[in-house]
Amino acid sequence: MANSFGITVSRHIMDSQRLHPEATGELSGLLSELIVAAKTISAEVNMAGLADILGMSGKTNIQGEKVKKLDEFANNTIKRRMASCGYICVMTSEEEADIIPVADGCEGKYTLAFDPLDGSSNIDVNVSIGTIFSIHRRKSADKPPSQGDEADLLQKGSAQIAAGYIIYGSCTMMVFSTGEGVHGFTLDPSVGEFYLSHPDMKIPEKSKYYSVNEGNRRYWADGVRSYIDYLKEEDKATGRPYSARYIGSLVSDFHRNLITGGVFIYPCDSKDPTKPYGKLRLLYEAAPLAFIVEQAGGRAITDDGVRITDIIPDSLHQRVPLVIGSKHDVDMFEKFMNGKKEKK
């Protein structure tokens, strides 16, 4: 790779496209539109403390969660921009119960699933939050342009064409993959450009960090408790005890673990009988992050060992338990859930 200094995300996308003579440029166009939405959201998030944009919107979303003003702003920013971009045929958002149609005459061959602003509970306390997105090719890609439907969205993670996230933290970063590695770009707000800052990201094979909400311990399966207890034991030969790192903002926890190594766990728990499969959603949280972590050399499974990117969604807002991060640490979790401890 030539000197990556000063390579903008647009240049990176075009360079990638040039490697595929069959490419029409539609995916590049889609990503470029998403980037404009990300910059718009970033500007608003970074001004939130000054503008009247903090606090509750007074609305409740499909998840039964109170919607923050910034949630609503981010959702509308993405929805409105992407509906007329001409590259997608249907969308789904964490904030909306049903599929979101695109503008008539703007139907494209891709689909978009997104969590507009994950980590809402952290918005008003200035903790990093993020946007997560997932792109598939519509099932009926050979059909003439038309509105997509739910079936176009309910595809497994391994069929994603691209996936990524934008994290609004100490700086705004965009991290995404089109299936050819994971690349990170940092926004220079003075120029309004994302520059390549983390080429070809790889997650460390083994880590020393675990991310889980230990307040839910009493609701976990025994194997999960045993695994966490094992990570806390002292054994220098296996690099234990691990350190706990949990922000309560999925994108932030995932991003840190992608860089430093780590395992994030949101298992099934018995806390809420209406949510037996944990809290996180498959389509626009677990599957896109699983796509990224696998591209970076990590693993993502459910707490009974099913590969996240193999799961065919049965509904837009389907929840799944998620164990994601460094391969060795996820492998070890799997052994515990199968009742086998790692050999010393």
Residue 11 belongs to what H/E stretch? helix 9-18
Q: According to CB under 6 A, which one of 4, 28, 140, 213 is a site residue for ligand P6P?
A: 213
What sign for the dihedral angle of Cα 96, 98, 99, 101? Answer: negative
Q: How many Cα atoms within 13 Å fall on the side-chain side of residue 214? A: 12
The rounded distance, in Å, linking the Cα atoms of 100 and 246 is 33
Q: Residues 77, 197, 249, 295: which binds ligand P6P (CB under 6 A)?
A: 249
H or E element: which one contains 164? strand 162-168
Q: Which residues pair with 91 in a beta bridge?
A: 100, 112
CB of 148 to ligand P6P, least distance (A): 26
Q: Which of 132, 250, 263, 287 binds ligand P6P (CB under 6 A)?
A: 250
CB nearer to ligand P6P: give 16 or 249: 249
Based on the shown chain and the rule CB under 6 A, indicate whether residue 71 belongs to the binding site for ligand P6P.
Answer: no
The total of other beta-carbon atoms located within 10 Å of residue 175's CB is: 26
Closest separation in Å from C-beta 121 to ligand P6P? 5
Rg (CA), the chain: 20
Closest contact distance (angstroms) between CB of 271 and ligand P6P is 8
Which of these segments, 118-126, 160-168, 184-192, 297-305, binds ligand P6P (CB under 6 A)?
Answer: 118-126
186 contacts ligand P6P (rule: CB under 6 A): no
Tell the smallest beta-carbon distance from residue 235 to ligand P6P (Å).
27
Q: Which of 41, 77, 89, 119 binds ligand P6P (CB under 6 A)?
A: 119
Measure the CA–CA gap between 155 and 316, rounded to whole angstroms: 10
Interface segment toward ligand P6P; rule CB under 6 A; list 116-124, 147-155, 196-204, 326-334: 116-124
Residue from 33, 71, 95, 118 binding ligand P6P (CB under 6 A): 118
Query: Closest approach of Cβ 154 to ligand P6P, in Å?
Result: 21
Residue 248, interface with ligand P6P (CB under 6 A)? Answer: yes
Quote the CA–CA distance of 193 and 13 in Å, as a whole number.
13
Question: What minimum distance in Å lies between the beta carbon of 249 and ligand P6P?
Answer: 5
* CA–CA gap between residue 200 and residue 329 (Å, rounded): 21
The binding track of 264-303 with respect to ligand P6P, each residue x by CB under 6 A or -, is ---------------x------------------------
Q: For residue 114, how many C-alpha atoms fall within 13 Å in the half-sphere facing its CB?
A: 28
> Are the beta carbons of 248 and 199 closer than 8 angstroms?
no
Q: From CA 254, how far away is CA 300, in angstroms rounded? A: 11
Residues near ligand P6P (CB under 6 A): 118-121, 213, 248-250, 279
